[in-house]
Structure 1
Amino acid sequence: MTTATMRAPRPAPVLTPAPPGKPLRPGRWWPPLTMLGVVLAGVCAPLVRTPTFYFWDDTAGASVGAWRNIGDALLDGRLLLLDIEAWRGGNYAAEAAFGLYNPLLLGLYAGTRAIDDLALVTVVIKAFLFLTMALGAYLLCREYGARPWPAALLGSSLPLSGFTLWMDGAAWVTGLTVTALAPWVWYTARRAAEGRGSFLWAVLAGYLCASAGNPYGLLASGLVVAGVLAEALLRRRFRAGVGVTSAGIAVALLSVPTYLPFVLSASVSYRAGSQTFNDEFLSPELSDLVGLSSPSFTPYMDVFGELTFSFPGLYLAWYLLPLLPWLRWSVLRERVRGLAALWVVGVINLLLVLGPSQIWFFRWPVRLLPYLWLAVAVTAAVLLSAGLQRDRLRLRGALSGGLVFLGGWLAWSDVPVELDRHLFSTGLVAGLMAGLLVAAGRGARPAALVGMAGTLVVLAVQLSWWPSNANVLDYRFPRGAEAIQRSFADNGPGLRVQIGSVAAAGPDRGTNGVYEDVLFGSMYAVAGVESLTAYSGVGFTNFDVPLCTEYTGSTCPEAWDALWETPDGADERLADLIRAETVVVQRALRDTQDEPAPQGWQLEESTDYVDVWRRTEPLPWPEGRLSDTDGPVEIVSDTRVGEVGETVEFRRDGRGPIELTFARLAWPGYTAEIDGREVPVEQGPNGLLAVPIPEDVDAGTLTLAWSPPGTTLSLAAVGAAAVLVAGLTAAELRTRRSRRHTHLTPEDATGVPHIPERAPLPAGRTTRENQRR
């Protein structure tokens, strides 16, 4: 291989605003702008072959329906915490996955609500997150002293890496969200600790990341705070450490309303009793991480019923591993204290990635891979900024070639049947590496441009092999929201119960296929239909088990029988207890045309895909959700109030116990009062909400209300955070006033003078020459 050197040294660690009257030179914008252009091109590349690349798996099944539901409420001036008409999938507060208190995400939901093409909505939101990730990574690299072009190179590689693009990007949008925001938490926290920014920005960035609803965002924010704190303590900036710690505590307190309802609702969900164990599911091994520069590497790993990834899941950047022999490793030793956060974040995430498959609520270690890659990318940008080594060329070339071969060998060893891909991939990396080393001799910019171009070339090759993520579910939903609504416009009022399975839908899907009659996940929210069918990451165990409901809303054939049975402790059939008006049975799952009609029901229609059953007589109490009474009681009226409330006027007909059952799930957070007197609420038959009437009450008005469990504690946590943030603000204002009065050299927010770390200039180069480059 030919070798050269990236001889440009590190300038001051970060782009700083120009003095008044001296605007930033236009050339300083080219690295980040080029990076963003490369990322945008890479994000759009999958759409060439797979237009629904981002309308996939959980994004399609869970997120899109929730986005529209929450967006509708926001445009009406409401914050939707519980949608009782979405049943098991409507407790958005307990799901904690949609950032109900996150202004950035709420703005995206409301801002994309007018777009009819649901696949386009996912592209808009995810492209924004990809670009946010790239820019945050770029600024973080610059904060650690990386030069603009190396920072741009690594910033373009992170969003287009295997797991981030194919898994978080295509399917797990909550993972993409926190991965996009984590670099900003790190950047703002370190910048504040160095005295070049306010801790208030760190609190804001940390809050946006942690409140996105993915607990890995909270974990990532905590690790970042720990890393920056370690840097401050190692450099004896104790007051800066106090500021970092205070900002971290404020973020944790502000996140309580997001996660406390999830924790307090776990008792009724399948998340109850989460433990630590290992079954090797989505658990990489150390050797798998060595394939980070092998474009054809699909690691051998247990992944959703398959033994290998259907995409390059552990790929990061084609140039990283082969460049190892050329890097100036002494830079890390020289700056060990100033780079402490890289070690803390990187090492802890490495341990977690290699750890057990579940630790408490945190499961599937590979989900932490993007945070490990973030630490690796920043470290690589710092090393590349110091220039490449120029001595012992043959040895370095041989080592680099050996590393390229090693990556190809590991890729072949896991999937030997794809030898042609591995040979092509290895040759491609070798050729690109030679071009990169040649370009490095002309400067940092040519090298970075070759690196970015190579990233797009490699991505194009990968997409030709793996145009989508085949490890997870492709629902193949219709893309048009209005078309979906038209298909279900004749559903009629009331609850639609669906007995069906997405696995039985087969390949014949779409607006003109089975999706004219059934939907899965949370798509009924798009259709505007009340249904038991909804995606849920928590579920409601006592309700889901009798109907054998999966997380996607799919059921088993026996759910039809369960509907017409009387649950324990009830006097009515389950179909009556939930106030079902329509029952739709997917014929591929169970053909009910010849079944005897349940009492009060008739078969109204049979299509190629479903049998449609409708109730023949109206339900009692049509203005509310009361479904059954037990005991000597007369119901005078039942009226729904607002989104979740309800009032029932009743009077006793005799002595004895009375219980009212409602067609709503008994989520934690419900309260009941009779004329101002609090009465208990219980789980009734199959997890439905039940309210016993005290025997000393002869008549009155029962009022039902709901708020997220732990609301009082959540408000107290937010109040404490506000006090802490106010204290941070006061301390920073006091420091600024002190600076103005004493005319001292700029200090950090803690009053400690800031001495930026700079790498020594290479021989023969002056500071002025470096600035020109």
Structure 2
Amino acid sequence: MRPAHPVARWLLLTAVSLGAASVPLIVLFVRSSGRFFFLDDKQAQYAAAYHYIGNELTQGHLPVLVPWMGTSANLLLDPQYGLLNPVFWVQNIAFAQFSDLAIGSFAMAVGYLVLLAAGAVAWLVRLNARGWWPAVGGFAAAFSGYLVWWVGPSWHPGLASVAFLPWIGWALSARRPGAWNALALTAATFACLAAGWPFTAISAGALVLSNIVESFINDRRRDALVVALATAAGAALAAPTVLFTASALDWTVRQGSVSNDAFLVPNLADVLNTAMATAGANINSFGKTVVTVPIMLAGGLTLALIPLLAVPTRWWRVRGAITLTGTLLALLVLTQSASAVGPLRWPFRYLGPWQVVLAVALVAALAVWGVRLTRARVAVSAGLLLAAAYVTVSRTPQDVLTHVVSLVVVSATVLLLVLVREALRALVILAGGVLILVWASVVHPANVDLPDWGMPTEVASYQQPLGAGAERSLVLYPAFIDYGAAAAEGVYLGQNYLLSPARSGLGYTSVGQRQLVADMCTATHGWTCPAAVDFLASTEPTTGQVWAALLGADTIVAHNFFVPALQEKLPQWVVAQTSGDFTVLKLADGSDQPGRVTYSPPGMQIEGLDVGELTQTYQVDSSAGGTIAFADVYWPGYEATFNGQPIPVTPLADALVSVTLPARSGTLEIVYHPAGLGPSLVSSVVGLLLAAAAAVVAARMRRRGLSPSADTLDEMPQGAGA
């Protein structure tokens, strides 16, 4: 089965892996009407943001700020949007070519799954896994489990980052790393970290550190030097994607100390039980919630097969053994973290990287060491299999048929694995994996824990917003209404106003401005509460204006739940239009302020000269001076000059941009220079220097033969010393 060239073999095995996965993916696409990868957060923010950014990039514009989107206006500060990530530039430009968001989301997710599968295959080929085993690893790592049923449909940055994790493993597994391998390790590290998903970044760190430990244990310290230089280079090049956020962290909602409310903190028994292949393995977070996540078959055989593996006595001398084992143990511990560790929330998000590494580790061991049967080993294997089945059934007893079918398939696969000859074992697991994944696709055409908000899929459907497309608007809606019906009326969830000619004045990102989010009691996907009306009607003491006016909300589009309170507390906003569950209220006299100015003192004359996203220029005529307020949400990095002289920019009530002018006429310029620009430039330069150093060191070591060829998986005799 070995083509003459390693690349040809990799391509063949990847094609087999993708061919096996195509059947269940087609079933998922048909069963979900194409919406499988268009759910929850992707439907509320990521798809719209990626499409908008892609269109802007196509026009040669990097959209750092989107005026009138309120707390969600600063796209640069959310690293998950990838404004500084060339991989996401390509992704977003390609995604913007789709007129259907669901179809585009499906294609985008499958693209990253293909990349992940190809990386897992390449990793196993480099570890010298024999026969068809790498194809099994590619299939098991990418096309099932937590990544497909949870991360892919909702948290796209998680999938985009995990897709590069196997490529880091591939680069780490080079027997004689040269300059190109060092640069490939830098590139894979950058792509993994720049996707903005911290859980994969930490997982990549565990992978690299485990590899460095392996190099020291096996007297390959020079390899460790190259790895350290190359991965540090990738991390430094990716750092700007988070340095801007870090520079403004005190102003974001991403704060807090270590705390634990048990939400999405999986029980250890349940994490281990994801190694049991069922169509509905469950992660139980201490009674708080139960998350149904279909998982992989090849990795799912772990519990049953570990007792049967013929592990060599000197297993730690095998290239990759310590790397894989150390990473698995580290990720297992991380799944038991507190529910909030600073800005990191919900440790069950480590399950994606854990399952990928688990699949690669198991397949690598099976490919070389094989199995060794004794009565004691078989008894332990059967006991673990039954224990895992018991835990699974006890979690969701209402789904017994699914668990019984899965147990039968797993048991039959394990039995065939030990009965058939070695050359057919990989194909047995692959066939079982396809069967279990098709079954899961039929039974679970969508993750029941991920909501479909009912947003339209056609981009053209967002062109008729309620309120006649007013730019200076504010949209208020409570949690858990019928968002599909709201969209039909022209009111869109979260960041979907980026697809519309209107702006919501609110929106939703994962990195909201702390004070305004609190004032407006903004929650997930832009939901708000009755306290928001109280805030909008309250008077800001410096300006004497109500907050609705300071936010520039000449038009308020509100769910009828809020309308009685709005009419009572903001009588100057009158009903202009009603549509189903929503009402449009407009400021009776309108606003005569130019640009994004929302308040100026009496007698001050202001003319907008050039009002852009990052720079605003106004001509001001005032004999008394005073404070001017803007609708721009305050972030560190705003600067102002008056007649060319710097003046302070003050956060009005810690929420909005404001300046205080002297008593004279002149030109006012407000500019946003994102905080963190200097450190980001330094980090980029350091990254390039480290990458060059890694390439030079690796090239010299390769020429001088200083990188010894240690044991690899197929160089250890099967069952040696077992």
Q: Does 1:619 align with 2:620?
A: no
Mapping for residues 111-126 of structure 1, pairs under 5 Å: 111-126=94-109
Find the aligned partners of 2:518 and 2:8 in 1 and give their Cα distance. Answer: 62
Contact 1:194 1:754 in 2 (8 A): no
Contact 2:494 2:525 in 1 (8 A): yes
Find the aligned partners of 1:330 and 1:616 in 2 and give their Cα distance. Answer: 81
1:99 offset after TM fit, Å?
A: 1.7
Corresponding residue number in structure 2 for 1:766: none
Q: 1:606 aligns with which of 563, 568, 578?
A: 578
So what's the TM-score if we normalise by structure 2? 0.92
Q: Does 1:757 align with 2:712?
A: yes
Judged with a 3 Å threshold, the aligned counterparts in structure 2 of structure 1 residues 708 and 316 are, in CA distance, closer, same or farther, namely farther
Larger gyration radius, structure 1 or structure 2: 1
Deviates more, 1:54-63 or 1:561-570: 561-570
What's the CA shift string for 1:289-341, capped at 9, x where partnerless?
332224055435239x9631133369874433222333211276263565221
Q: Does 1:539 align with 2:512?
A: yes
1:707 offset after TM fit, Å?
A: 2.3
Find the aligned partners of 2:416 and 2:466 in 1 and give their Cα distance. Answer: 59
Contact 1:228 1:340 in 2 (8 A): yes
Find the aligned partners of 1:658 and 1:402 in 2 and give their Cα distance. Answer: 78
Q: 2:476 aligns with which of 466, 482, 499?
A: 499
Q: 2:250 aligns with which of 248, 267, 275?
A: 267
Contact 1:661 1:688 in 2 (8 A): yes
Corresponding residue number in structure 1 for 2:681: 715
1:122 offset after TM fit, Å?
A: 0.6
**What amino acid sits opposite 2:616 in the alignment?**
E
1:344 offset after TM fit, Å?
A: 2.6
Q: Does 1:519 align with 2:485?
A: no
1:663 offset after TM fit, Å?
A: 0.9
Q: Does 1:414 align with 2:395?
A: yes
1:130 offset after TM fit, Å?
A: 0.7
1:502 offset after TM fit, Å?
A: 4.2
Judged with a 3 Å threshold, the aligned counterparts in structure 2 of structure 1 residues 390 and 193 are, in CA distance, closer, same or farther, namely closer
1:666 offset after TM fit, Å?
A: 0.6
Contact 2:271 2:283 in 1 (8 A): no
Corresponding residue number in structure 2 for 1:4: none
Contact 2:270 2:284 in 1 (8 A): no
Find the aligned partners of 2:659 and 2:685 in 1 and give their Cα distance. Answer: 33
Corresponding residue number in structure 2 for 1:5: none
Give the SS at the match of 1:232: helix
Find the aligned partners of 2:7 and 2:226 in 1 and give their Cα distance. Answer: 33
Find the aligned partners of 1:616 and 1:498 in 2 and give their Cα distance. Answer: 18
**How much is the aligned-residue C-alpha RMSD, in angstroms?**
2.9
Q: 1:645 aligns with which of 603, 615, 621?
A: 615
**What amino acid sits opposite 1:488 in the alignment?**
P
Corresponding residue number in structure 2 for 1:488: 465
Judged with a 3 Å threshold, the aligned counterparts in structure 2 of structure 1 residues 24 and 337 are, in CA distance, closer, same or farther, namely closer
Find the aligned partners of 1:263 and 1:594 in 2 and give their Cα distance. Answer: 37
Mapping for residues 194-233 of structure 1, pairs under 5 Å: 194-195=177-178, 197-233=180-216
Give the SS at the match of 2:494: coil
Corresponding residue number in structure 1 for 2:406: 425
Contact 2:276 2:303 in 1 (8 A): yes
Give the SS at the match of 2:473: strand
Contact 2:214 2:322 in 1 (8 A): yes
1:231 offset after TM fit, Å?
A: 2.5
Judged with a 3 Å threshold, the aligned counterparts in structure 2 of structure 1 residues 176 and 225 are, in CA distance, closer, same or farther, namely same
Judged with a 3 Å threshold, the aligned counterparts in structure 2 of structure 1 residues 667 and 84 are, in CA distance, closer, same or farther, namely farther
1:452 offset after TM fit, Å?
A: 1.8
Q: Does 1:628 align with 2:599?
A: yes
1:474 offset after TM fit, Å?
A: 2.1
Find the aligned partners of 1:390 and 1:729 in 2 and give their Cα distance. Answer: 43
**What amino acid sits opposite 1:714 in the alignment?**
S
Find the aligned partners of 2:636 and 2:222 in 1 and give their Cα distance. Answer: 42
1:375 offset after TM fit, Å?
A: 2.8
Q: Does 1:575 align with 2:553?
A: no
**What amino acid sits opposite 2:660 in the alignment?**
P
1:29 offset after TM fit, Å?
A: 4.2
Corresponding residue number in structure 2 for 1:375: 357
What's the CA shift string for 1:404-430, capped at 9, x where partnerless?
322211112223344343333322322
Q: Does 1:295 align with 2:278?
A: yes
Corresponding residue number in structure 2 for 1:768: none
Contact 1:276 1:359 in 2 (8 A): yes
Judged with a 3 Å threshold, the aligned counterparts in structure 2 of structure 1 residues 464 and 197 are, in CA distance, closer, same or farther, namely same
So what's the TM-score if we normalise by structure 1? 0.86
**What amino acid sits opposite 1:178 in the alignment?**
S
Mapping for residues 51-200 of structure 1, pairs under 5 Å: 51=33, 52-191=35-174, 194-195=177-178, 197-200=180-183
Give the SS at the match of 1:309: strand
Contact 1:261 1:708 in 2 (8 A): yes
Find the aligned partners of 2:175 and 2:82 in 1 and give their Cα distance. Answer: 26
1:500 offset after TM fit, Å?
A: 0.9
Contact 1:633 1:650 in 2 (8 A): no
Find the aligned partners of 1:481 and 1:100 in 2 and give their Cα distance. Answer: 21
Give the SS at the match of 2:246: helix
**What amino acid sits opposite 1:465 in the alignment?**
V
**What amino acid sits opposite 2:558 in the alignment?**
V
Contact 1:322 1:433 in 2 (8 A): yes
What's the CA shift string for 1:687-720, capped at 9, x where partnerless?
1111122x4x633222111122111111111112
Corresponding residue number in structure 1 for 2:538: 565
What's the CA shift string for 1:99-139, capped at 9, x where partnerless?
22221211011012121110011101100111111111111
1:181 offset after TM fit, Å?
A: 1.0
Find the aligned partners of 2:716 and 2:213 in 1 and give their Cα distance. Answer: 28
Contact 2:132 2:426 in 1 (8 A): yes
Give the SS at the match of 1:692: strand
Judged with a 3 Å threshold, the aligned counterparts in structure 2 of structure 1 residues 312 and 26 are, in CA distance, closer, same or farther, namely closer
Corresponding residue number in structure 2 for 1:725: 691
Find the aligned partners of 2:543 and 2:204 in 1 and give their Cα distance. Answer: 48
Find the aligned partners of 1:471 and 1:127 in 2 and give their Cα distance. Answer: 21
What's the CA shift string for 1:23-50, capped at 9, x where partnerless?
6696764322110222333333322222
1:686 offset after TM fit, Å?
A: 6.3
What's the CA shift string for 1:620-651, capped at 9, x where partnerless?
233x1111124x76234223443221012223
Corresponding residue number in structure 1 for 2:639: 671
Find the aligned partners of 1:490 and 1:25 in 2 and give their Cα distance. Answer: 57
Give the SS at the match of 1:222: helix
Corresponding residue number in structure 1 for 2:237: 254
Give the SS at the match of 1:638: strand
Find the aligned partners of 2:317 and 2:220 in 1 and give their Cα distance. Answer: 16
Find the aligned partners of 1:601 and 1:217 in 2 and give their Cα distance. Answer: 48
1:538 offset after TM fit, Å?
A: 1.9
Give the SS at the match of 2:617: strand
Contact 2:38 2:105 in 1 (8 A): yes
Corresponding residue number in structure 2 for 1:455: 433
Query: Which consecutive unaligned segments of at least 5 residues does structure 2 have?
Result: none
Find the aligned partners of 1:27 and 1:200 in 2 and give their Cα distance. Answer: 23
Contact 2:58 2:93 in 1 (8 A): yes
Judged with a 3 Å threshold, the aligned counterparts in structure 2 of structure 1 residues 761 and 360 are, in CA distance, closer, same or farther, namely closer
Judged with a 3 Å threshold, the aligned counterparts in structure 2 of structure 1 residues 590 and 625 are, in CA distance, closer, same or farther, namely closer
Corresponding residue number in structure 1 for 2:384: 403
Give the SS at the match of 2:55: helix
Judged with a 3 Å threshold, the aligned counterparts in structure 2 of structure 1 residues 424 and 647 are, in CA distance, closer, same or farther, namely same
Contact 2:299 2:359 in 1 (8 A): no
Find the aligned partners of 1:391 and 1:728 in 2 and give their Cα distance. Answer: 45
**What amino acid sits opposite 1:401 in the alignment?**
A
Contact 1:297 1:410 in 2 (8 A): no
Corresponding residue number in structure 2 for 1:3: none
Q: Does 1:691 align with 2:646?
A: no
Find the aligned partners of 2:695 and 2:507 in 1 and give their Cα distance. Answer: 44
Query: Which consecutive unaligned segments of at least 5 residues does structure 1 have?
Result: 1-7, 9-14, 764-773
Corresponding residue number in structure 1 for 2:18: 36
